[in-house]
């Protein structure tokens, strides 16, 4: 079948590099004689007939721009009455031969469902958390760790000047990739991640051990989704400051860093501060690496859909962009695994409790 017109949407949380993907799709599509229709606000655009024609002219000058010119939401048509049918009706009304869905786990799960219902859909993996399986890396991750590393570098000098403990809370809901890689790059003393529950006592022991060894300051990098056992609690759990869930019923993350900094100060007597990097990690211009990765994903996505494929996602494997089944990306999360934990353990104390047996006591 000849592909004449393809839609593109960006869904879920935004991510540096989304505009580079859009630019790549539109540029290559023009060369292939394919029209591109931008669907605005993720799947919401299908439900509200909100679209814009995308031309090469419209996508000039956006390569280095953060955010997404198409806007994004976490709209789930399957939670809207008649939603899936409305998406299918719009798909036909707009005469689309295919759709490129750029997003993380949520968006790609929906892409899979629509593929199973008969629409031609190809996915492009996006998330700063880098927790999608099927691909070695998602675009946006490199930017996030660069921003986080720069922040840690800056915090180190002020930590040293004041002989303080600096707790840096980074993003990472289910996976600690940002904490691990920015923590390693920034020379952290402690890296706390969702995959390895930790206790406040363990973190304090590391801080005191480093002091006993002569280091006058400490950097604690903690993922917002880290599981921490509070004093007196029987097990580790999420620590959040805002108890009300987000629009999807998920815990609204944020607050573990402040909690840990408070506890360190109280238990060790060492002055501690917290910095929450939050959405700074997601905003602004993508790194060169993310731009190039996003361009590669975009070109491959439009070429793949032009060949008539569906139900696949673009993936980076051994430095090649290939198409893998969409279900591979969403079946399970890519979590920080043992080789990375072992690497962290060389430089930090993520597995502190297992590694040392006689911690110094607080004075």
Active site residues: 129
Question: CA distances (Å), 82 to each of 41, 51, 99, 148, in order?
Answer: 19, 20, 20, 42
CA dist 107 and 45 (Å) reads 13
How many Å apart are CA 215 and CA 197, to the nearest integer?
A: 25
Query: What whole-number distance in Å separates Cα of residue 87 and Cα of residue 99?
Result: 11
Q: How far apart are CA 339 and CA 337, in angstroms?
A: 6
> What are the beta bridge partners of residue 237?
228
Of all residues in the shown chain, the one whose CB is closest to ligand F6P is: 171
* Cα–Cα distance measured from residue 82 to residue 163, given in angstroms and rounded to the nearest whole number: 60
d(CA 336, CA 65): 29
Q: How far is the CB of 246 from ligand F6P (least distance, A)?
A: 6
The pairing of beta strand 272-276 with beta strand 121-125:
unpaired
- Toward ligand F6P, which CB reaches closer, 41 or 104? 104
**Whole-angstrom Cα distance, residue 359 to residue 347?**
17
Instruction: Note the residues at the interface with ligand F6P (CB under 6 A).
Output: 13, 104, 127-129, 171-173, 224, 246, 253, 282
Beta strands 218-223 and 165-170 are parallel
């Amino acid at each position: 079948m000849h592909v004449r017109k393809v839609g593109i949407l960006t869904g879920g949380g935004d991510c540096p590099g989304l505009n580079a993907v859009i630019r790549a799709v539109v540029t290559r599509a023009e060369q292939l004689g394919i029209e591109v229709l931008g669907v605005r606000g993720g799947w919401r655009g299908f439900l509200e007939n909100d679209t814009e024609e995308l031309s090469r002219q419209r996508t000039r000058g956006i390569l280095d721009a953060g955010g997404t010119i198409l806007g994004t939401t976490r709209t789930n048509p399957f939670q809207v009455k008649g939603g899936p049918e409305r998406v299918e009706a719009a798909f036909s009304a707009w005469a689309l031969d295919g759709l490129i869905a750029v997003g993380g786990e949520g968006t790609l799960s929906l892409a899979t469902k629509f593929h199973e219902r008969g629409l031609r859909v190809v996915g492009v993996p996006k998330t700063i958390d880098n927790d999608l399986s099927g691909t070695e890396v998602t675009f946006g991750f490199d930017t996030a760790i660069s921003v986080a590393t720069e922040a840690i570098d800056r915090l180190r000098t002020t930590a040293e000047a004041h002989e303080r403990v600096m707790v840096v809370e980074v993003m990472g809901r289910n996976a600690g990739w940002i904490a691990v890689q920015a923590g390693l790059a920034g020379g952290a003393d402690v890296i706390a991640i969702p995959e390895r529950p930790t206790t406040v006592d363990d973190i304090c022991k590391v801080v005191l051990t480093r002091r006993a060894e002569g280091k006058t300051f400490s950097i604690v990098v903690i993922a917002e989704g880290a599981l921490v056992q509070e004093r007196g609690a029987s097990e580790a759990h999420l620590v959040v400051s805002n108890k009300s869930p987000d629009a999807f019923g998920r815990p609204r993350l944020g607050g573990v860093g402040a909690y840990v900094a408070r506890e360190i100060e109280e238990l060790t007597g060492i002055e501690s501060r917290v910095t929450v990097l939050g959405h700074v990690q997601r905003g602004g211009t993508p790194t060169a690496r993310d731009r190039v990765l996003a361009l590669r994903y975009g070109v491959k996505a439009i070429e793949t859909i032009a060949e008539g494929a569906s139900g696949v996602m673009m993936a980076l494997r051994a430095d090649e962009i290939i198409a893998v089944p969409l279900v591979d990306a969403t079946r399970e999360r890519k979590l920080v695994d043992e080789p990375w934990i072992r690497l962290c353990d060389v430089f930090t104390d993520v597995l502190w409790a297992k590694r040392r047996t006689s911690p110094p006591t607080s004075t």
